[in-house]
Structure 1
Amino acid sequence: MNGAGGVLTAALTGPHTGTATALALSHGGTPPVTTPREAAREAARRELSKRMYHENDPGLVQRALNAFWDWVGRLFGAASSATPGGTLGLVVVVLAVVAVLAALWWRLGTPHRTPASSAALFDDRPRSAAEHRAAAEAHAAQGHWNQAVQERMRAVVRSLEERALLDPRPGRTADEAAAEAGRSLPSHTDRLRAAARDFDDITYGGRSGDPRAYQRLTELDRDLERTRPVLTDAPGTNPSTARGGRQGASS
Protein backbone atom coordinates (compact mmCIF):
# COMPACT_ATOMS: atom_id res chain seq x y z
CA MET A 1 0.00 0.00 0.00
CA ASN A 2 1.46 3.43 -0.90
CA GLY A 3 1.60 6.33 1.46
CA ALA A 4 -1.28 8.23 -0.11
CA GLY A 5 -3.58 5.26 0.19
CA GLY A 6 -2.74 4.81 3.85
CA VAL A 7 -3.40 8.43 4.56
CA LEU A 8 -6.76 8.30 2.73
CA THR A 9 -7.84 5.22 4.70
CA ALA A 10 -6.92 6.88 7.93
CA ALA A 11 -8.86 9.96 6.89
CA LEU A 12 -12.06 7.97 6.19
CA THR A 13 -11.90 5.85 9.33
CA GLY A 14 -10.33 8.18 11.79
CA PRO A 15 -12.39 9.47 14.71
CA HIS A 16 -11.55 13.15 14.16
CA THR A 17 -12.32 14.69 10.82
CA GLY A 18 -10.08 17.62 11.35
CA THR A 19 -7.04 15.44 12.02
CA ALA A 20 -7.75 13.27 8.98
CA THR A 21 -8.01 16.36 6.81
CA ALA A 22 -4.74 17.72 8.15
CA LEU A 23 -2.94 14.44 7.46
CA ALA A 24 -4.24 14.29 3.94
CA LEU A 25 -3.22 17.84 3.21
CA SER A 26 0.22 17.30 4.72
CA HIS A 27 0.87 14.60 2.10
CA GLY A 28 -0.42 16.65 -0.78
CA GLY A 29 -3.80 14.78 -1.12
CA THR A 30 -7.26 16.29 -1.60
CA PRO A 31 -9.56 16.59 1.39
CA PRO A 32 -12.15 13.71 1.65
CA VAL A 33 -15.90 14.33 1.16
CA THR A 34 -17.60 14.08 4.53
CA THR A 35 -21.41 13.94 5.04
CA PRO A 36 -23.13 14.15 8.40
CA ARG A 37 -24.76 10.93 9.54
CA GLU A 38 -28.38 12.21 9.53
CA ALA A 39 -28.00 13.75 6.12
CA ALA A 40 -26.55 10.52 4.75
CA ARG A 41 -29.39 8.48 6.23
CA GLU A 42 -31.99 10.79 4.69
CA ALA A 43 -30.26 10.62 1.33
CA ALA A 44 -30.26 6.82 1.48
CA ARG A 45 -33.95 6.81 2.41
CA ARG A 46 -34.81 9.03 -0.55
CA GLU A 47 -32.81 6.84 -2.87
CA LEU A 48 -34.43 3.60 -1.68
CA SER A 49 -37.92 5.10 -1.95
CA LYS A 50 -37.60 5.37 -5.72
CA ARG A 51 -40.05 3.24 -7.71
CA MET A 52 -37.30 1.23 -9.39
CA TYR A 53 -36.48 -0.44 -6.07
CA HIS A 54 -40.11 -1.52 -5.39
CA GLU A 55 -41.27 -2.94 -8.71
CA ASN A 56 -41.29 -6.50 -7.34
CA ASP A 57 -42.79 -5.73 -3.92
CA PRO A 58 -45.97 -7.70 -2.99
CA GLY A 59 -49.31 -5.97 -3.49
CA LEU A 60 -51.69 -4.73 -0.83
CA VAL A 61 -53.70 -7.96 -0.75
CA GLN A 62 -50.58 -10.09 -0.50
CA ARG A 63 -49.22 -7.92 2.32
CA ALA A 64 -52.54 -8.23 4.16
CA LEU A 65 -52.47 -12.03 3.74
CA ASN A 66 -48.89 -12.17 4.95
CA ALA A 67 -49.82 -10.11 8.00
CA PHE A 68 -52.80 -12.39 8.69
CA TRP A 69 -50.77 -15.58 8.45
CA ASP A 70 -48.08 -14.04 10.63
CA TRP A 71 -50.76 -13.31 13.23
CA VAL A 72 -52.12 -16.87 12.96
CA GLY A 73 -48.59 -18.22 13.38
CA ARG A 74 -48.02 -16.12 16.48
CA LEU A 75 -51.40 -17.14 17.90
CA PHE A 76 -50.76 -20.81 17.19
CA GLY A 77 -47.30 -20.53 18.73
CA ALA A 78 -48.66 -18.89 21.87
CA ALA A 79 -51.42 -21.52 22.18
CA SER A 80 -49.05 -24.40 21.66
CA SER A 81 -46.66 -23.04 24.27
CA ALA A 82 -49.53 -22.79 26.78
CA THR A 83 -50.91 -26.27 26.00
CA PRO A 84 -49.45 -29.35 27.71
CA GLY A 85 -47.57 -31.32 25.10
CA GLY A 86 -46.83 -28.31 22.92
CA THR A 87 -47.94 -28.39 19.28
CA LEU A 88 -49.01 -32.03 19.45
CA GLY A 89 -51.17 -31.36 22.49
CA LEU A 90 -52.82 -28.39 20.75
CA VAL A 91 -53.62 -30.52 17.70
CA VAL A 92 -55.19 -33.16 19.94
CA VAL A 93 -57.34 -30.53 21.68
CA VAL A 94 -58.52 -29.06 18.35
CA LEU A 95 -59.42 -32.51 17.01
CA ALA A 96 -61.32 -33.31 20.20
CA VAL A 97 -63.35 -30.09 19.92
CA VAL A 98 -64.14 -30.81 16.26
CA ALA A 99 -65.24 -34.34 17.17
CA VAL A 100 -67.56 -33.06 19.91
CA LEU A 101 -69.14 -30.49 17.57
CA ALA A 102 -69.63 -33.14 14.87
CA ALA A 103 -71.28 -35.47 17.39
CA LEU A 104 -73.64 -32.72 18.54
CA TRP A 105 -74.52 -31.83 14.96
CA TRP A 106 -75.22 -35.49 14.15
CA ARG A 107 -77.29 -35.96 17.32
CA LEU A 108 -79.32 -32.75 17.22
CA GLY A 109 -79.45 -32.18 13.48
CA THR A 110 -79.68 -28.84 11.71
CA PRO A 111 -81.03 -26.11 14.00
CA HIS A 112 -84.58 -25.05 13.13
CA ARG A 113 -86.60 -22.07 14.06
CA THR A 114 -89.09 -22.43 16.86
CA PRO A 115 -92.49 -23.25 15.39
CA ALA A 116 -94.56 -20.10 15.00
CA SER A 117 -97.93 -21.60 15.83
CA SER A 118 -99.53 -18.15 15.87
CA ALA A 119 -99.34 -17.80 12.09
CA ALA A 120 -102.56 -17.98 10.10
CA LEU A 121 -103.76 -21.29 8.71
CA PHE A 122 -105.22 -19.94 5.44
CA ASP A 123 -103.96 -17.40 2.95
CA ASP A 124 -106.01 -14.50 1.64
CA ARG A 125 -107.69 -16.46 -1.17
CA PRO A 126 -110.63 -18.49 0.18
CA ARG A 127 -111.11 -21.98 -1.26
CA SER A 128 -113.54 -24.75 -0.56
CA ALA A 129 -112.71 -27.99 1.22
CA ALA A 130 -112.99 -29.86 -2.08
CA GLU A 131 -110.45 -27.52 -3.69
CA HIS A 132 -108.01 -28.02 -0.81
CA ARG A 133 -108.45 -31.80 -1.06
CA ALA A 134 -107.79 -31.74 -4.81
CA ALA A 135 -104.66 -29.66 -4.27
CA ALA A 136 -103.50 -32.04 -1.55
CA GLU A 137 -103.98 -35.09 -3.78
CA ALA A 138 -102.08 -33.39 -6.62
CA HIS A 139 -99.13 -32.61 -4.35
CA ALA A 140 -99.14 -36.13 -2.92
CA ALA A 141 -99.10 -37.64 -6.42
CA GLN A 142 -95.91 -35.67 -7.12
CA GLY A 143 -94.31 -36.55 -3.79
CA HIS A 144 -94.53 -32.98 -2.45
CA TRP A 145 -95.42 -34.07 1.06
CA ASN A 146 -95.01 -30.70 2.76
CA GLN A 147 -97.60 -29.07 0.52
CA ALA A 148 -99.80 -32.16 0.62
CA VAL A 149 -99.98 -32.12 4.43
CA GLN A 150 -100.64 -28.38 4.49
CA GLU A 151 -103.46 -28.57 1.97
CA ARG A 152 -105.06 -31.57 3.68
CA MET A 153 -105.09 -29.78 7.02
CA ARG A 154 -106.71 -26.79 5.37
CA ALA A 155 -109.29 -29.12 3.84
CA VAL A 156 -110.09 -30.51 7.30
CA VAL A 157 -110.63 -27.07 8.81
CA ARG A 158 -112.56 -25.73 5.80
CA SER A 159 -114.83 -28.78 5.88
CA LEU A 160 -115.63 -28.12 9.54
CA GLU A 161 -116.45 -24.52 8.67
CA GLU A 162 -118.71 -25.64 5.83
CA ARG A 163 -120.54 -27.96 8.26
CA ALA A 164 -120.97 -25.00 10.67
CA LEU A 165 -118.90 -26.79 13.34
CA LEU A 166 -116.43 -23.90 13.20
CA ASP A 167 -117.21 -20.26 12.61
CA PRO A 168 -115.30 -18.96 9.57
CA ARG A 169 -112.67 -16.65 10.99
CA PRO A 170 -109.72 -15.10 9.14
CA GLY A 171 -106.40 -15.56 10.87
CA ARG A 172 -107.34 -18.75 12.70
CA THR A 173 -104.35 -20.95 13.52
CA ALA A 174 -104.19 -24.72 13.27
CA ASP A 175 -103.98 -25.04 17.06
CA GLU A 176 -107.04 -22.84 17.54
CA ALA A 177 -109.01 -24.79 14.94
CA ALA A 178 -108.12 -28.12 16.60
CA ALA A 179 -109.08 -26.86 20.07
CA GLU A 180 -112.42 -25.45 18.88
CA ALA A 181 -113.30 -28.50 16.78
CA GLY A 182 -112.50 -30.81 19.69
CA ARG A 183 -115.45 -29.41 21.64
CA SER A 184 -118.00 -30.69 19.13
CA LEU A 185 -115.96 -33.73 18.06
CA PRO A 186 -114.50 -34.94 21.38
CA SER A 187 -113.69 -38.42 20.10
CA HIS A 188 -111.16 -36.90 17.68
CA THR A 189 -109.60 -34.30 20.00
CA ASP A 190 -106.21 -36.00 20.21
CA ARG A 191 -106.02 -36.62 16.46
CA LEU A 192 -106.96 -33.01 15.73
CA ARG A 193 -104.21 -31.73 18.02
CA ALA A 194 -101.69 -34.11 16.45
CA ALA A 195 -102.71 -32.90 12.98
CA ALA A 196 -102.28 -29.26 14.03
CA ARG A 197 -98.87 -30.10 15.47
CA ASP A 198 -97.80 -31.77 12.21
CA PHE A 199 -98.99 -28.74 10.25
CA ASP A 200 -97.05 -26.30 12.44
CA ASP A 201 -93.87 -28.38 12.48
CA ILE A 202 -93.88 -28.73 8.70
CA THR A 203 -94.98 -25.19 7.86
CA TYR A 204 -93.05 -23.17 10.44
CA GLY A 205 -90.66 -25.54 12.19
CA GLY A 206 -88.59 -26.76 9.26
CA ARG A 207 -89.68 -30.41 9.54
CA SER A 208 -90.20 -32.35 6.32
CA GLY A 209 -93.51 -33.98 5.57
CA ASP A 210 -93.80 -37.65 4.72
CA PRO A 211 -96.42 -40.11 3.42
CA ARG A 212 -97.34 -41.24 6.95
CA ALA A 213 -98.23 -37.72 8.10
CA TYR A 214 -100.30 -37.22 4.98
CA GLN A 215 -102.06 -40.57 5.43
CA ARG A 216 -102.94 -39.72 9.04
CA LEU A 217 -104.50 -36.44 7.94
CA THR A 218 -106.36 -38.10 5.07
CA GLU A 219 -107.87 -40.69 7.42
CA LEU A 220 -108.78 -37.98 9.92
CA ASP A 221 -110.48 -35.97 7.20
CA ARG A 222 -112.56 -38.97 6.14
CA ASP A 223 -113.44 -39.97 9.70
CA LEU A 224 -114.55 -36.46 10.55
CA GLU A 225 -116.85 -36.49 7.55
CA ARG A 226 -118.60 -39.58 8.97
CA THR A 227 -118.68 -38.40 12.60
CA ARG A 228 -121.80 -36.80 14.02
CA PRO A 229 -120.95 -33.80 16.20
CA VAL A 230 -121.86 -33.49 19.85
CA LEU A 231 -124.03 -30.39 20.07
CA THR A 232 -124.51 -28.33 23.22
CA ASP A 233 -127.12 -25.69 23.91
CA ALA A 234 -124.91 -23.47 26.04
CA PRO A 235 -121.40 -23.39 27.43
CA GLY A 236 -121.05 -25.80 30.34
CA THR A 237 -124.02 -27.95 29.34
CA ASN A 238 -123.46 -31.68 29.65
CA PRO A 239 -123.48 -33.13 26.13
CA SER A 240 -125.35 -36.28 27.20
CA THR A 241 -127.96 -34.21 29.00
CA ALA A 242 -128.37 -32.04 25.94
CA ARG A 243 -128.85 -35.08 23.70
CA GLY A 244 -131.31 -36.59 26.17
CA GLY A 245 -133.31 -33.37 26.32
CA ARG A 246 -133.56 -33.22 22.54
CA GLN A 247 -134.64 -36.85 22.33
CA GLY A 248 -137.27 -36.28 24.96
CA ALA A 249 -138.55 -33.20 23.19
CA SER A 250 -138.70 -34.98 19.86
CA SER A 251 -140.56 -37.90 21.34
Structure 2
Amino acid sequence: MNPVDRGEAAGRAARELLDPAYEHESLFDLIHRRVTQFLGDLVDAVGGGGSAGGIIAAALIVTILLGVMTLITWRLRRTARRRAPGTSGLFGGRTMNAADHRREAERLAAEGAWTEAVQERLRAIARDLEERAIVDGMPGRTAHELANEAAWSLPGFAGELATAARSFDDVTYGGVLGTREAYERMASLDDRLRQARPAPLATAVGTGGGAG
Protein backbone atom coordinates (compact mmCIF):
# COMPACT_ATOMS: atom_id res chain seq x y z
CA MET A 1 0.00 0.00 0.00
CA ASN A 2 1.47 3.35 -1.08
CA PRO A 3 1.66 6.02 1.64
CA VAL A 4 -0.64 8.99 1.25
CA ASP A 5 1.12 12.34 1.45
CA ARG A 6 -0.37 15.36 3.21
CA GLY A 7 -1.52 17.07 0.03
CA GLU A 8 -3.40 14.06 -1.26
CA ALA A 9 -5.00 13.45 2.14
CA ALA A 10 -6.21 17.06 2.25
CA GLY A 11 -7.62 16.71 -1.24
CA ARG A 12 -9.51 13.58 -0.30
CA ALA A 13 -10.92 15.24 2.81
CA ALA A 14 -12.08 18.26 0.81
CA ARG A 15 -13.78 16.07 -1.80
CA GLU A 16 -15.46 14.07 0.92
CA LEU A 17 -16.81 17.15 2.64
CA LEU A 18 -18.39 18.25 -0.63
CA ASP A 19 -20.36 15.01 -0.78
CA PRO A 20 -24.09 15.92 -0.36
CA ALA A 21 -24.55 12.82 1.80
CA TYR A 22 -22.78 14.61 4.66
CA GLU A 23 -24.70 17.89 4.53
CA HIS A 24 -27.13 16.80 7.25
CA GLU A 25 -24.82 14.56 9.22
CA SER A 26 -25.19 14.79 13.00
CA LEU A 27 -22.29 15.72 15.24
CA PHE A 28 -22.16 12.24 16.69
CA ASP A 29 -22.08 10.60 13.24
CA LEU A 30 -19.40 13.04 12.06
CA ILE A 31 -17.12 12.35 15.04
CA HIS A 32 -17.65 8.61 14.79
CA ARG A 33 -16.96 8.55 11.05
CA ARG A 34 -13.82 10.70 11.23
CA VAL A 35 -12.28 8.79 14.13
CA THR A 36 -13.10 5.46 12.54
CA GLN A 37 -11.55 6.59 9.26
CA PHE A 38 -8.43 7.79 11.07
CA LEU A 39 -8.08 4.50 12.93
CA GLY A 40 -8.48 2.58 9.70
CA ASP A 41 -5.76 4.61 7.99
CA LEU A 42 -3.49 4.12 10.98
CA VAL A 43 -3.99 0.37 11.02
CA ASP A 44 -3.34 0.21 7.28
CA ALA A 45 -0.12 2.17 7.74
CA VAL A 46 1.06 -0.15 10.49
CA GLY A 47 0.13 -3.20 8.45
CA GLY A 48 2.29 -1.92 5.60
CA GLY A 49 5.44 -2.47 7.62
CA GLY A 50 7.57 -0.58 10.10
CA SER A 51 9.82 -0.98 13.09
CA ALA A 52 8.73 -2.78 16.24
CA GLY A 53 8.79 0.50 18.15
CA GLY A 54 6.60 2.18 15.56
CA ILE A 55 4.09 -0.66 15.66
CA ILE A 56 3.91 -0.54 19.46
CA ALA A 57 3.46 3.24 19.40
CA ALA A 58 0.71 2.94 16.82
CA ALA A 59 -1.02 0.28 18.89
CA LEU A 60 -0.94 2.54 21.93
CA ILE A 61 -2.36 5.43 19.91
CA VAL A 62 -5.16 3.19 18.63
CA THR A 63 -5.99 2.06 22.18
CA ILE A 64 -6.09 5.64 23.47
CA LEU A 65 -8.23 6.84 20.59
CA LEU A 66 -10.66 3.95 21.02
CA GLY A 67 -11.02 4.92 24.68
CA VAL A 68 -11.63 8.55 23.76
CA MET A 69 -14.17 7.59 21.11
CA THR A 70 -16.00 5.34 23.57
CA LEU A 71 -16.16 8.15 26.12
CA ILE A 72 -17.41 10.67 23.56
CA THR A 73 -20.03 8.21 22.33
CA TRP A 74 -21.27 7.57 25.86
CA ARG A 75 -21.51 11.27 26.69
CA LEU A 76 -23.30 12.16 23.46
CA ARG A 77 -25.84 9.38 23.88
CA ARG A 78 -26.41 10.32 27.50
CA THR A 79 -27.01 13.92 26.51
CA ALA A 80 -29.37 12.83 23.72
CA ARG A 81 -31.37 10.71 26.15
CA ARG A 82 -31.68 13.63 28.57
CA ARG A 83 -32.96 15.91 25.80
CA ALA A 84 -35.29 13.34 24.25
CA PRO A 85 -39.01 13.82 24.95
CA GLY A 86 -40.36 11.48 27.60
CA THR A 87 -37.04 10.56 29.16
CA SER A 88 -36.46 13.38 31.59
CA GLY A 89 -38.16 11.53 34.46
CA LEU A 90 -40.85 12.60 36.86
CA PHE A 91 -39.14 15.38 38.76
CA GLY A 92 -37.12 17.18 36.08
CA GLY A 93 -34.14 17.59 38.40
CA ARG A 94 -36.07 19.18 41.28
CA THR A 95 -35.64 18.05 44.90
CA MET A 96 -38.96 18.91 46.53
CA ASN A 97 -40.45 16.57 49.09
CA ALA A 98 -43.90 14.99 48.91
CA ALA A 99 -45.56 17.70 51.01
CA ASP A 100 -44.10 20.42 48.80
CA HIS A 101 -45.36 18.75 45.62
CA ARG A 102 -48.76 18.25 47.21
CA ARG A 103 -49.05 21.91 48.22
CA GLU A 104 -47.96 23.00 44.75
CA ALA A 105 -50.55 20.69 43.17
CA GLU A 106 -53.32 22.13 45.36
CA ARG A 107 -52.26 25.69 44.53
CA LEU A 108 -52.30 24.95 40.80
CA ALA A 109 -55.68 23.22 41.06
CA ALA A 110 -57.11 26.26 42.85
CA GLU A 111 -55.96 28.36 39.89
CA GLY A 112 -57.51 25.95 37.39
CA ALA A 113 -54.12 24.94 35.98
CA TRP A 114 -55.18 21.31 35.71
CA THR A 115 -52.34 20.08 33.50
CA GLU A 116 -49.66 21.24 35.93
CA ALA A 117 -51.76 20.15 38.91
CA VAL A 118 -51.97 16.59 37.57
CA GLN A 119 -48.21 16.54 37.08
CA GLU A 120 -47.47 17.81 40.58
CA ARG A 121 -49.90 15.40 42.20
CA LEU A 122 -48.23 12.39 40.61
CA ARG A 123 -44.88 13.78 41.70
CA ALA A 124 -46.28 13.96 45.23
CA ILE A 125 -47.30 10.31 44.95
CA ALA A 126 -43.86 9.32 43.67
CA ARG A 127 -41.99 11.25 46.35
CA ASP A 128 -44.25 9.92 49.10
CA LEU A 129 -43.60 6.33 48.01
CA GLU A 130 -39.87 7.04 47.99
CA GLU A 131 -39.95 8.65 51.43
CA ARG A 132 -41.77 5.61 52.82
CA ALA A 133 -39.24 3.26 51.13
CA ILE A 134 -41.98 1.54 49.14
CA VAL A 135 -40.00 2.32 45.96
CA ASP A 136 -36.33 3.12 45.56
CA GLY A 137 -35.25 6.71 44.98
CA MET A 138 -34.14 6.18 41.38
CA PRO A 139 -33.06 9.31 39.47
CA GLY A 140 -34.70 9.74 36.08
CA ARG A 141 -37.53 7.32 36.85
CA THR A 142 -40.49 7.54 34.47
CA ALA A 143 -44.12 7.46 35.52
CA HIS A 144 -44.57 3.92 34.21
CA GLU A 145 -41.45 2.71 35.99
CA LEU A 146 -42.88 4.14 39.19
CA ALA A 147 -46.22 2.41 38.64
CA ASN A 148 -44.61 -0.94 37.87
CA GLU A 149 -42.32 -0.85 40.90
CA ALA A 150 -45.00 0.35 43.32
CA ALA A 151 -47.38 -2.38 42.12
CA TRP A 152 -45.10 -5.04 43.59
CA SER A 153 -45.60 -3.71 47.10
CA LEU A 154 -49.13 -2.35 46.59
CA PRO A 155 -50.74 -4.85 44.19
CA GLY A 156 -54.24 -3.64 45.03
CA PHE A 157 -53.39 -0.28 43.44
CA ALA A 158 -51.69 -1.66 40.31
CA GLY A 159 -54.47 -0.67 37.92
CA GLU A 160 -54.89 2.83 39.33
CA LEU A 161 -51.14 3.43 39.37
CA ALA A 162 -50.91 2.44 35.69
CA THR A 163 -53.82 4.77 34.87
CA ALA A 164 -52.18 7.61 36.78
CA ALA A 165 -48.91 7.04 34.89
CA ARG A 166 -50.74 7.22 31.56
CA SER A 167 -52.49 10.41 32.65
CA PHE A 168 -49.13 11.99 33.58
CA ASP A 169 -47.59 11.03 30.24
CA ASP A 170 -50.64 12.25 28.32
CA VAL A 171 -50.50 15.76 29.79
CA THR A 172 -46.70 15.93 29.85
CA TYR A 173 -45.74 14.48 26.48
CA GLY A 174 -48.94 13.79 24.57
CA GLY A 175 -50.36 17.29 24.35
CA VAL A 176 -53.49 16.31 26.30
CA LEU A 177 -54.90 19.03 28.56
CA GLY A 178 -55.41 18.19 32.20
CA THR A 179 -58.94 18.29 33.60
CA ARG A 180 -60.56 18.66 37.00
CA GLU A 181 -61.70 15.03 36.83
CA ALA A 182 -58.17 13.79 36.07
CA TYR A 183 -56.77 15.80 38.95
CA GLU A 184 -59.43 14.63 41.40
CA ARG A 185 -58.71 10.99 40.47
CA MET A 186 -54.99 11.61 41.04
CA ALA A 187 -55.65 13.36 44.37
CA SER A 188 -57.93 10.54 45.53
CA LEU A 189 -55.27 7.98 44.66
CA ASP A 190 -52.67 10.02 46.51
CA ASP A 191 -54.83 10.20 49.66
CA ARG A 192 -55.53 6.46 49.66
CA LEU A 193 -51.93 5.51 48.94
CA ARG A 194 -50.79 7.54 51.94
CA GLN A 195 -52.91 5.24 54.14
CA ALA A 196 -51.93 2.03 52.38
CA ARG A 197 -49.41 -0.43 53.74
CA PRO A 198 -47.20 -2.69 51.62
CA ALA A 199 -48.50 -6.18 51.08
CA PRO A 200 -46.59 -9.10 52.64
CA LEU A 201 -43.73 -10.24 50.45
CA ALA A 202 -45.29 -13.56 49.44
CA THR A 203 -48.58 -11.90 48.47
CA ALA A 204 -46.83 -9.12 46.56
CA VAL A 205 -44.63 -11.53 44.61
CA GLY A 206 -47.55 -13.80 43.77
CA THR A 207 -49.81 -10.98 42.63
CA GLY A 208 -47.03 -9.17 40.78
CA GLY A 209 -45.99 -12.32 38.96
CA GLY A 210 -49.55 -13.00 37.92
CA ALA A 211 -49.99 -9.44 36.66
CA GLY A 212 -46.76 -9.64 34.67
Q: Smaller-chain TM-score range?
A: 0.5 to 0.7
In structure 1, give the amino acid aligned to 2:116: Q
- The correspondence of residues 139-154 of structure 1 with structure 2, limited to 5 A, is 139-154=108-123
Name the counterpart of 1:180: 149
Q: Report the CA distance between 1:117 and its aligned residue.
A: 4.3
- 1:203 matches 2:172: yes
Q: Is the 8 A contact 2:155 2:207 kept in 1?
A: no
- 1:125 matches 2:125: no
Structure 1 spans left out of the alignment, 5+ residues: 1-115, 240-251
Q: Report the CA distance between 1:231 and its aligned residue.
A: 3.5
Q: How many residues align?
A: 125
Q: Is the 8 A contact 2:152 2:205 kept in 1?
A: no
Q: Report the CA distance between 1:136 and its aligned residue.
A: 0.2
TM-score by length of 1: 0.47
Q: CA RMSD in A?
A: 2.3
Query: Structure 2: how far apart are the matches of 1:236 and 1:150?
Result: 29
How many percent identity over aligned positions?
48
Higher helix share: 2
Consecutive aligned runs of 4 or more in structure 1 exceeding 4 Å deviation: 235-239
Q: Is the 8 A contact 1:117 1:175 kept in 2?
A: no
Q: Is the 8 A contact 2:101 2:124 kept in 1?
A: yes
Which fold has the larger relative contact order, with Cα–Cα distance below 8 Å and residues 6 or more apart in sequence?
2
Name the counterpart of 2:189: 220
Name the counterpart of 1:193: 162
Q: Deviations over 1:67-107 (max 9, x none)?
A: xxxxxxxxxxxxxxxxxxxxxxxxxxxxxxxxxxxxxxxxx
Query: Structure 2: how far apart are the matches of 1:117 and 1:175?
Result: 11
Of 135, 155, 162, the residue aligned with 2:124 is: 155
Q: Report the CA distance between 1:200 and its aligned residue.
A: 0.1
Query: Structure 2: how far apart are the matches of 1:205 and 1:184?
Result: 29
Q: Deviations over 1:127-180 (max 9, x none)?
A: 100000000000000000011000000000000000000110110000000000
In structure 2, give the amino acid aligned to 1:161: E
